[in-house]
Structure 1
Amino acid sequence: MVWAWQQWLSPRPRQRTVTTSQVSFLTSGNAALYEPLSKPGGLWYVRETHYIENPLVKAGLSGPPLHIHLQQDEYFKVEQGVLGAVKDGVEYTITKDDGTLFIPAGTRHRFWSHKSATESLVFSAWADPCKDRDHILDLNFLRNIVGYLADCDKAGLKPSPFQLILFFDDASSLLCPPFLNWMPVWLLTWVHHGFAWIAESGLGYQTSYPEYTKYK
């Protein structure tokens, strides 16, 4: 339950759209499509399609902000188009001829459809599953993020940094705003935990919402 004073301090969508029946799901503004797929051994990956005709994709805004995964390596394999990526401050342009892009755990990174592309970006992304750990990057994380951002867009609200921090924190990941680029990862981790605690204990945000999540 969200109290009126919490809503006043940090507005949020009053209604959440039920998306659990959707096998694949579109991001806010219909910029990108996420298709969860299975790999042998019960592992999963996501095929992302970033539509080149979409204004958000053209502006390089269809990917996530700069972030870090603390417990998982991440991998990208381009099938079509050009993937732009920043990896610890170094920018890369990746095509299907460049093989797999490897992002080690603890690396500041982000990705988007590069401005040089002449067609929609299609790529597969997956993470080291770390099955022995509870708090990891998983499909529930993606569904919560996409569902929340879409509902904020529908309600005409700016997404709360506190809710986004809480989502990332629960997945052992960190958001890295540019003004904190100077901060070492260990210190950023503690700052992130602090804001996540405020988000959950003070503002009443949740790490996951049943309207968005499909897999338990």
Structure 2
Amino acid sequence: MTVTYPYSIDNDTGETLTFKQLIHEPDGDRLLVDNQVAPGSGPPMHVHWQQDESLTVVNGRIGYQVAGQAEQFAGEGETVTFERGVAHRFWNAGTDTLTCTGWIKPANSIVFYLSAVYAAQRKSGQLQPEPFDAAYLLMRYASEYDMLAIPPFVRKVIIPITYQLGRLLGKYNHFADAPSPLPAIR
């Protein structure tokens, strides 16, 4: 996937991301990002195994939670940072559009991954991505990302079966140019 910055994606369920610029740094590329989130919207509990993520509120109020901890909130000018390997979620806790600026480091496959997730959400017309695409992304990029909001039985049994069925049915041809996943570091 070749990207020209700025590059925007929208999942049709209340979130728009604009990848603004990729900055090459000695210890990994930093991807600058803006996001806009509709009231009540935001990603479910998830983890980036190999990336740090930081969001600074420009307008609105962000709610956020680290797995196992109480919900917290931040307002305009405040920054929330999630370290790699720490499960988290965030949402728009206000009544107007939440606008944040931030970064992800190292960038790795995040542009491809989130673009594919958002496309799968648009395909399904729901918050839950189209099942075959979701299974492909969760299996292929398991060393980089996990969606902890998905019940364990579904993650460990249903998704692998769906992935294999998708392979048999030829559902993944549109992922022919998908970047290779990173090796696991956990």
Common fold: TM-score over 0.5: yes
Q: Indicate if the aligned counterparts of 2:31 and 2:105 stay in contact, CA closer than 8 A.
A: no
Moved over 4 A (4+): 191-197, 210-213
RMSD: 3.5
Identity %, equivalent residues: 21
Paired residues for 1:115-134 under 5 Å:
117-129=94-106
- Say whether residues 1:45 and 2:32 are aligned partners: yes
Q: Distance in 2 between matches of 1:158 and 1:113?
A: 18
Alpha-carbon shift at residue 161 of structure 1 (Å): 4.9
Q: Does 1:138 align with 2:110?
A: yes
Q: State the structure with bigger RCO (CA 8 A, min sep 6), 1 or 2.
A: 1
The worse-fitting range, judged by mean Cα deviation, of 66-75 and 201-210 is 201-210
Match of 1:25 in 2: 9
Cα distance in 1 for partners of 2:96, 2:75 equals 12
Length, aligned pairs only: 166
Task: Determine which structure has more spread, i.e. the larger CA radius of gyration.
Answer: 1
Q: What are structure 1's unaligned runs of at least 5 residues?
A: 1-19, 52-56, 131-135, 181-187
Which has a greater percent of strand? 2
- How far, CA to CA, are the matches of 2:127 and 2:98 in structure 1? 28
Contact preservation (8 Å) 1:85, 1:92? yes
Letter in 2 for 1:148: A
Whole-Å Cα distance in 2 between the matches of residues 87 and 162 of structure 1? 28
Which ranges in structure 2 are unaligned for 5 or more consecutive residues? 180-186
Going from structure 1 to structure 2, the CA distance change for 1:119 and 1:88 (only over 3 Å counts) comes to same
Give the 3-state SS of the residue equivalent to 1:96 in structure 2: coil
Q: TM-score, normalised by structure 2?
A: 0.70
- When normalised by structure 1's length, the TM-score is 0.62
Instruction: Return the offset for 1:166.
Output: 3.5
Aligned equivalent of 2:182: none
